[in-house]
């Protein structure tokens, strides 16, 4: 594996941390470690979202940059008498990417390794073999022989289950493979935007946020936005990479390495036109690459941000990522760095007059 520099070490720490919706503590502590030295103040909303405030100009407009802490995973719902675990998906999963995958059950007594199992093909009829196994028919095998043994190891209903996968730099060192890019990359962007504003005059107050419970309904972004009451909001997340075999340009146009995605439309929000135009003008001025994206079947935290209080102009800026909502996903380091650069440069220009113009003209 390639030697990890400071940025890669942060990305590894963030993605290796375990945290499904409602269980984000471990990830929050990692984000806090990296963002606290860059902030003037750390606070939390009542659900556990972390909010790092950096003051440029005390009475300037409030700008929110939000990633979400949670990853897709599972929750134990019951243990049968033979020690097999039944589970509930937390976040959106497609059954075909789950079977035979290794998982970690995080219990009060420590980690327990498991594997997602089902009937072997040898005992299935020819007809049954042609059909994908339904999630409801899957289970987790931890090698226990009874319900009592599983309980002795600390396993109980409500425990978090996360994919097992270690951060990996590919042979092409720009390509990074890890679990939970959705959405630790957004958390990393929020951290590095605050880093980029160190010692820099910016005419506003910036809030770097790690929101909870995005994968189950954009929940933490809503509560964090109520707490902050921002003038403008950016959601930073993963987007679809349309550069693998079988995906047509009609389905997804973006390619890894070609710049951050400006999301013009998704199921949770129509992008604010004034903010979208301002961001792309800054990118054009500075020759920062970007791509337009629309995601008819998904949403981001911008969907909650823009509906809070009496409305907050918002935009989702995303990083094209392959294989999201599975055990491991891949993204391009240049897209991450260009997203940070673009948002940092936009924030430097967001004084009160500019923000009012974006909102009201």
| Angle between helix 181-196 and helix 25-35 axes, rounded to 10 deg | 20
159/207 Cα distance (integer angstroms): 31
- The full DSSP string for 40-93 is SEEEE-TT--EEEEEESSTTSPEEEEEEE--B-EEEEEEE-TTS-EEEEEES--
Distance of CA 187 to the CA centre of its chain: 7
Catalytic residue (choose from 29, 36, 71, 214): 214
Using alpha carbons, select from 225, 221, 209 the residue that is nearest to residue 41. Answer: 209
In this structure, what token pair is assigned to residue 74?
Answer: 């599972």
Catalytic annotation present for 214: yes
Those residues with Cβ within 8 angstroms of residue 317's Cβ, 6 or more apart along the chain or in another chain: 234, 235, 236, 260, 261, 262, 263, 279, 339, 342, 343
- Tokens 């994919």, located at residue: 163
Could you give the residue numbers annotated as active site? 214
């Amino acid at each position: 594996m390639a030697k990890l520099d400071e940025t890669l070490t942060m990305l590894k720490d963030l993605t290796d941390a375990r945290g499904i919706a409602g269980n984000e503590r471990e990830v929050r502590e990692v984000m806090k470690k990296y963002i606290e030295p860059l902030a003037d103040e750390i606070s939390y909303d009542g659900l556990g979202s972390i909010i790092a405030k950096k003051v440029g100009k005390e009475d300037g407009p409030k700008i929110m940059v939000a990633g979400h802490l949670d990853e897709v995973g599972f929750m134990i719902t019951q243990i049968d008498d033979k020690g097999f675990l039944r589970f509930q998906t937390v976040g959106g999963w497609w059954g075909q990417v789950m079977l035979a995958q290794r998982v970690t059950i995080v219990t009060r007594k420590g980690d327990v390794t498991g594997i997602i199992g089902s009937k072997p093909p040898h005992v299935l009829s020819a007809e049954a073999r042609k059909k994908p196994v339904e999630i409801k028919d899957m289970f987790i095998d931890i090698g226990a022989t009874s319900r009592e043994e599983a309980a002795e190891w600390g396993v109980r209903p409500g425990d978090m289950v996360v994919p097992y996968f270690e951060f990996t730099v590919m042979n092409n060192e720009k390509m990074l493979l890890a679990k939970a890019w959705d959405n630790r990359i957004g958390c990393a962007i929020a951290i590095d935007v605050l880093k980029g504003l160190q010692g820099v005059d910016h005419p506003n107050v910036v809030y770097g946020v790690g929101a909870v419970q995005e994968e189950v309904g954009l929940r933490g972004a809503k509560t964090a936005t109520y707490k902050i009451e921002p003038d403008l909001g950016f959601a930073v997340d993963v987007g679809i990479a349309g550069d693998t075999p079988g995906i047509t340009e009609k389905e997804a146009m973006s390619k890894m390495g070609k710049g951050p995605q400006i999301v013009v439309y998704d199921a949770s929000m129509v992008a604010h036109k004034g903010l979208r135009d301002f961001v792309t003008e800054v990118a054009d001025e500075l020759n920062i690459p970007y791509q337009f994206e629309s995601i008819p079947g998904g949403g981001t935290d911008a969907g909650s941000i823009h509906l809070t209080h009496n409305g907050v102009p918002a935009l989702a800026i995303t990083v094209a990522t392959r294989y999201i909502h599975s055990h491991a996903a891949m993204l391009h380091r240049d897209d991450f760095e260009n997203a940070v650069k673009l948002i940092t440069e936009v924030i430097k220009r967001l004084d009160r007059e500019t923000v009012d113009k974006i909102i009201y003209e």
